[in-house]
Amino acid sequence: MNFQFYLNKIKETTTFPIDSAWGQGRSAFGGLTAALVLTHIEQQTGLTDRDLRTINIHFCGAVILDEPCEFTHRILSEGKSVFQVEGQLLQNGQVKTQIVACFSAQRQSSIQVSHKPKFAEKSLTEAMTFPFVKDVVPDFVRYFDLRITDGSLPGSGTKQSRLAGWMRFRDPTEPLDDSAMLCLIDAWPPAIMPMLDKPAPASSITWNLEFIQPRDPLQAEDYLFYECDVIQADFGYAHTEAKIFHPNGQLLALSRQLVGVYDKRG
């Protein structure tokens, strides 16, 4: 059951389980749950004439695999230019994933500032493919094609607090929209993972993502470029910042996460 299967499913119903093939430890992959909540919001509100600008995500609890998930939404504010809406994934009445998304209508302004195009130092063929090894990496990794251009694999014990590379779905079918990009971006392990000298759990607690508008069209087979730095880490938590780029070097999104690191159990 690939990503497109679940996108089609959320368009048909608001209650269904997530298969164990999308597992991340004892929970469903957070990138998928967030993408499904966002798609539910877009479907229910019909926001086809506004751009998604920001999305704030709280991973409130583990989404139990193979058990029914319920998707809900609530409009917070609706102005002439800005529309804000809350969406939730619930299991047994408990919130497991919550997002607040901000959509906006384009307006005229005299202020225009653009980011210089960014180009990777290594090509796809030069990059190191992130392997899928059953029972070693999370199950959901099988659905992604990740290629590291800067940094190392989780558990490498490196001192480098940076991770960068190319990314796309392993079997792309549909042009990349906001929900697909959300799922793709979260497929990368937290940038602190390569700094650990052995495998250990880590999980995103909060995630803020800002989409840059307007942007050039994206196709299903496009590889996006991702670069992430650890800004600060201590006492079992890490703050990371990332940028995501179009294949032509155009800035597509800004991402910040608070990550919990569980390498030492007290």
Buried b (16+ CB within 10 A) or exposed e, 113-149: eeeeeeebeeeeeebeebebeeeebbbbbebbbbbbb
Do 45 and 100 share a structural domain?
Answer: yes
What single-letter DSSP state applies at residue 190?
P
Question: In the prediction, which pLDDT does 98 show?
Answer: 98
On whether both 234 and 255 belong to a single domain, the answer is: yes
DSSP state at residue 141? G
Domain count for the chain: 2
What's the average model confidence in pLDDT over 199-224? 92
Query: Average pLDDT, stretch 29-56?
Result: 92
Tens of pLDDT, residues 62-112: 999 999 999 999 999 998 889 999 999 999 999 999 999 999 988 888 887
Does one domain contain both 71 and 129?
no
Outline where DSSP puts E strands in 66-180: 68-78, 82-91, 94-104, 128-129, 144-150, 162-169
Confidence of residue 266 (pLDDT cuts 50, 70, 90): low
Is-contact 244 255, C-beta < 8 A? yes
Query: Token digits for 13?
Result: 């119903």
Query: What is the reported pLDDT for 119?
Result: 84
Indicate the pTM of the whole model.
0.92
Q: What is the pLDDT of residue 201?
A: 78
Angle, helices 30-45 vs 178-185, to 10°: value is 170
For the chain, where are the alpha helices, taking DSSP H only?
3-12, 30-45, 178-185
Give pLDDT, residue 197.
Answer: 87
Does position 36 have pLDDT exceeding 80, yes or no? yes
The SS3 of residue 212 is: coil
Q: Which one of 74, 106, 138 terminates a domain?
A: 106
- Domain with 231, as residue range(s), is 118-266
Q: How far apart are CA 86 and CA 228, in angstroms?
A: 27
Q: How much is the mean pLDDT over the chain?
A: 92
CB 65 within 8 Å of CB 18:
yes
Would you say the C-alpha torsion 264, 28, 65, 41 has a positive or negative sign?
Answer: positive
Q: Are residues 100 and 168 in the same domain?
A: no
CATH at residue 207: 3.10.129.10
Residue 112 is assigned to a structural domain of this protein = no
Query: pLDDT grade, residue 215 (50/70/90)?
Result: very high
pLDDT in tens, 142-200: 999 999 999 998 888 888 999 999 999 999 988 999 999 999 999 999 999 999 888 77
Report if residue 113 sits inside a domain. no
Return the closest-CA partner of residue 131 out of 121, 118, 145, 117: 145
